[in-house]
Structure 1
Amino acid sequence: MKNAFVFLATGFEEIETLGTVDLLRRGGIHVTMVSIMDTCEVIGTHNISVNADSLFKDVDFSLADALIIPGGIPGSNHLNDYVPLKELILQKEKEGVILAAICAGPMVLGGLGLLNGKKATCFPFFEPTMTGATPTGNGVEQDGNIITCKGPGFVFDFGLLIVRNLRGEETVNEVAAAVLAPGY
């Protein structure tokens, strides 16, 4: 079974996070929601409380197939400031793990230099934080093992692209049909 980890911090964007988790789980991917806070209960940017599955310090990331960074402010800023997450991302990038970020989340990858020379997208206001990237303005963009997304309106495309990378075309078509995803 493929394993994906979605990182939560106070002020995460709920649609981006939960929509992605839902699509991946429907696709048979084991998803762990990981809090970088001191508690598993994390409050989103629109005051929706979510219970993460685990605290960062308690997770074994050795079998990670994907690391997912949701947007939301100040959630993305908290993720960007969390050194253990940044160290994990750099380690997993060397292993070719899928690194996916949506909305403001690509700032984390840009700050680590992982977007240098790559096509990427994010919420337009945050394009300057995608250091070294070629911003495309597309809803979703994949360049190598990095997947970026413009924002919550593209969560179906984002989640389904991750499913496609981890489980293949047949599974993505099944999930898209089950949720009546537009364009599939």
Structure 2
Amino acid sequence: MMASRISAGARTLTTLARLFSSSAPPIQKRVLVAVANGSEELETVSIVDILRRTQTTEVVLAKVDSNEEASEEMLRSNALLNQMSRQVLIQADSFFKDLDHSEFDAIVLPGGLKGAEAFSESPQLVEVVKTFLEEGKLVGAICAAPALVLNKHDLIEKYEKITSFPAFKEQIVWSGDHNAEYLDSEPVAVSKNLVTSQGPGTSVEFSLKLVELLYDKEKALGVANPLVLKCSKEFYKQN
């Protein structure tokens, strides 16, 4: 419980600092990032980090309940902790089930096999993703999530392009009720309000594309340039 209290205290101090700082820009967007035991840590951290670097995006990391019982005592004593795919421990800000999802402008699903399976097995999460897609809100999914959540639950039938972790290509191409073109060579696929990507190595560019679509290209470049980042040529194309 100590870790939980420390995390809550840190979030409170951050909020107070923003309130009393005249230089802190106002929050413009709210993004919900799902996480579960078995989520891919590099993807999860990249998404949260890049979005928070905008300084105008509130990012809430929300834990989705898993059917698997936590193996470590530490995880059982702090229910917000997640044991990621490579055993890194990451603490969520809240439980997915406790949030008012309608208050968010976007939802993002990291990959990781076990984590994506937990997302897929959550009727609430699937319904939230479906609602966001129907309402035109931004939805992002990377790695295993496009196949195990979007394709499995027939959520891509209205979209023209998709990508995922390469091992899931056949599953997406040959199953599901859709005509989306699978992009092998692009790190990020954008179709209307849906953004998909391939894996840990494409997670930063994926996250920057989310910034671009939430705001604009200038905002995304403003985040990318201080990272000394070499994105694909596609990222630097002007719309």
Same fold, TM exceeding 0.5? yes
Task: Indicate conservation of the 8 Å contact 1:4/1:64, yes or no.
Answer: yes
Contact 2:65 2:118 in 1 (8 A): no
Aligned partner of 1:170 in structure 2 is 218
The partner residue of 2:189 within 129, 134, 141 is 141
Structure with more contact order per residue of length (Cα contacts < 8 Å, sep ≥ 6): 1
Residues 27-176 of structure 1: pairs in structure 2 closer than 5 A = 27=54, 28-37=56-65, 39-107=79-147, 108-116=149-157, 117-130=159-172, 131=176, 132=178, 133-137=180-184, 138-176=186-224
Gaps of 5+ in 1: none
Say what the alpha-carbon RMSD is for the aligned residues.
Answer: 1.4
* Residue correspondences, number: 184
Percent pairwise identity? 33
Report which of the two structures shows the higher radius of gyration computed on alpha carbons.
2
Which consecutive unaligned segments of at least 5 residues does structure 2 have?
Answer: 1-27, 67-78
Runs (4+) of structure 1 exceeding 6 A deviation are: none
Deviations 1:65-84 (A, max 9, x none): 11101100211111111111
What is the DSSP-based 3-state SS (H/G/I as helix, E as strand, rest coil) of the residue aligned with 2:59? strand
SS at 1:74 equivalent: helix
Tell me if 1:13 matches 2:45.
no
Q: TM-score, normalised by structure 1?
A: 0.95
Amino acid of the structure 2 residue aligned with 1:37: D
